Amino acid sequence: MIVGVVIARAVSLGNEALRDSAQAVFVRSRGDASVDPTRDLAQWEAIGQTMLGNKDEAFRQLTTVLATNPQQRSSLAKDQSWWLRDLRGDPRWAALAGTGR
């Protein structure tokens, strides 16, 4: 997943030709609970999908992370990283992070 994030970063910096490569790495690197019980792979994919502008998939991955790790909801609510910045303005962010009114 980290390699996919690096490729996604290159895409976000203008190398659009690598978009399919990033996506292929993400799909091939997914793991279920038997290989990734804490869903770290899903969290990395959410970061990469955000960089690619695939908000729907990023939110799907973050939902998986929080379903497995509900204690991380408060950390997500406080997140100020650039990695997920593009998601914060989306109404789904408030619902997922528990900051919605």
Burial bucket for residue 69 (CB in 10 Å: 0-12, 13-18, 19+): middle
pTM greater than 0.85: yes
Q: What is the pLDDT of residue 35?
A: 95
- CA-only gyration radius of the chain, Å: 13
Q: What is the pLDDT of residue 98?
A: 87
Burial bucket for residue 40 (CB in 10 Å: 0-12, 13-18, 19+): middle
49 neighbors 11 (Cβ within 8 angstroms)? no
DSSP 75: H
Q: What is the mean pLDDT of residues 10-39?
A: 96
Q: What is the pLDDT of residue 101?
A: 53
50 neighbors 84 (Cβ within 8 angstroms)? yes
Residue 61 binned pLDDT confidence (cut-offs 50, 70, 90): very high
